[in-house]
Amino acid sequence: MKNTVLLTLFLVFTISTFGEENSMLISKGKSKKKSEKSATISPNKIGRAGYLSISGGYGVPFLSTAMRSPLKEIGDKDWYQRNGDLSVKPIIGTNGNGLAFNITGGIMFNRYIGFEAQLTAAWHPEALDARIDIPTYYATQKSSTVAQYLSTHLVMRWDNGKRFGVFAKVGPLLPFHGSPDTRAYIKDQQGRIIETLAGLPILPLNISGLANIEIELIGRSKSTFNPTIGLSAAIGAEIKLNKNFSLFGEVRVQAYTITIKETKFYEFEQHASINVLGIKLPAPDGLLPFPSNINNIDETPEFLKTISFKKEINEESNTARYGFKSLFPAGGLIGGLLNPNGAPLVDPNKPRDEVQPKINASTLYFNAGIRISFPNKKYAVASSTDSFKANKSKKKSKKSKKSKMSDAPDAEPGTVVPEGQ
């Protein structure tokens, strides 16, 4: 019994001692692995950081094409013909030049690859779309736009481990808001407005020195576009001020085209008069298919107020340009001359249908700004200088160990001699 008790106590003591030592070894092993893991940064995670940037710049037309007015009454060129001079030329440009302001947020997955989303607000100043300037007819259209764009980019970046870096980015562009503000002015002394709206030959309404009809039209409109998507791409360079702040400059392209969905006038005036032997008289109603004089937008028929743009014009379209419908009722003196075949009338209470134009709005921007980085502490960036110093320190340590081993003549190979011996 006594021997059994002693044996039991011995076993308990042995097991507990072994367990304690084993626990300490396991604990040390875990601690060592943890420290090694924390000391080792995965190469593909070095440089991970979020960032925010603010920039601004000026854009110039890119991939320029000939400008035009969607209204046939104004045309698609700059036509000047007065006093024996003639100049007819296209107006080359886009609807996309002007100032821009950008706010960008992104993340770098490592030192070289990242992703960002950018919001752009742009102001495209007023520019000439088309003009006709001849003795009996003057028409001009100018447009300006305030627009917003959203673009997402795949970002590629490289730096020299110090202060200088370059980058490139590319991705889709989504114009999500923009409404061109257009000013139109027409002074017609030859019947061109009636001809184009009604699809008729130019009427002989100007008898030099005797009589003519004069129509003056003043309007301002807003247009809406169909949804579209484009391309955004940029290249640039940056200079680091410190680990959080950088200055950068870039050249950025926004390339896309737009198609107009609808144009709606919010200001409209029309004044018609008859000049007989130099005496100017207001034109009476009934002379034109619409009221001769319109003083404000509330008096304007929907047919003149709103233009709906279609991919195709057919026999059902609400337009008289192509002869299937007429502005003038059949019968009577005017109807017999201008609608002899009894074509159905357009509906003055519905928008006028026109062929849908495509407009180039591409821009080349020159931007400058500041970037604020928020490095992830878990993946702190180890610069190339730090890596070089660390490697140099390891090599120096190995050389020191070998030197101590070789300096001890009585030491066996592989024995490390403590300092001081």
| Confidence at residue 325, expressed as pLDDT on a 0 to 100 scale | 87
Sign of the torsion formed by the C-alpha atoms of 148, 98, 226 and 220: positive
To which residue do tokens 């925010």 refer?
A: 52
Greatest CA span in the chain, whole angstroms?
148
The residue that leads in pLDDT, 356 or 24, is 356
Is the pLDDT at 150 greater than 90? The verdict is yes
Q: Give the residue among 124, 134, 129 at the shortest CA–CA distance from 71.
A: 129
Segment 71-76 shows an average pLDDT of 86
Position 203 scores a pLDDT of 60
Query: How many of the other CB atoms lie within 10 Å of CB of 122?
Result: 24
- The span from the CA of 122 to the CA of 226, in Å, is 19
Q: What percent of the chain shows pLDDT beyond 90?
A: 44
- Would you say residue 10 has pLDDT above 80? no
- Among the residue ranges 34-48, 111-125, 196-210, 372-386, the one predicted with the least confidence is 34-48
Residue 328: per-residue pLDDT: 81
pLDDT at 155 over 80: yes
Domain boundaries, the chain: 49-378, 392-421
Q: Are strands 230-240 and 164-178 parallel, antiparallel or unpaired?
A: antiparallel
Mean per-residue pLDDT over the chain, rounded: 80
For residue 375, give Cα distances in angstroms to 51, 242, 340, 382. 8, 12, 79, 12
3-state secondary structure 169-231: EEEEEEEEEECCEEEEEEEECCCHHHHHHHCCCCCCCEECCCEEEEEEEEEEEEEEECCCCEE
pLDDT at 149 over 70: yes
Higher pLDDT, 363 or 381: 363
What whole-number distance in Å separates Cα of residue 175 and Cα of residue 359?
14
Instruction: Say which CATH architecture domain 49-378 belongs to.
Output: Beta Barrel (2.40)
Q: Is the pLDDT of residue 176 over 70?
A: yes
Strands 358-360 and 257-276, by their bridges, are: antiparallel
pLDDT over 80 (residue 404): no
The mean pLDDT of 267-286, rounded to a whole number, is: 84
Quick check: 355 pLDDT over 50?
yes
Q: What is the rounded distance in angstroms from the CA atom of residue 351 to the CA atom of residue 278?
A: 37
Over residues 153-166, the mean pLDDT reads 92
Straight-line distance from the first to the last Cα atom of the chain, in angstroms, rounded to the nearest whole number: 57
What is the C-alpha separation between 133 and 115, in angstroms, rounded? 51
User: Cα 131 from chain centroid?
Assistant: 28
Residue 386: other Cβ atoms inside 10 A: 12
Structure tokens at 117: 């989303």
Q: What is the pLDDT of residues 207-262, one digit of tens each?
A: 666 777 888 999 999 999 999 999 999 999 999 999 899 999 999 999 999 888 99
pLDDT of residue 396: 57
Tally Cβ neighbours within 10 Å of residue 93: 18
Beta strand pairing call for 352-355 and 306-310: parallel
Of residues 170 and 49, more confidence is placed in 170
Q: Do 335 and 327 meet the contact criterion of CB atoms below 8 Å apart?
A: no
The mean pLDDT value for 150-173 works out to 94
Q: Judge whether 179 and 222 are in contact, CB under 8 Å.
A: yes
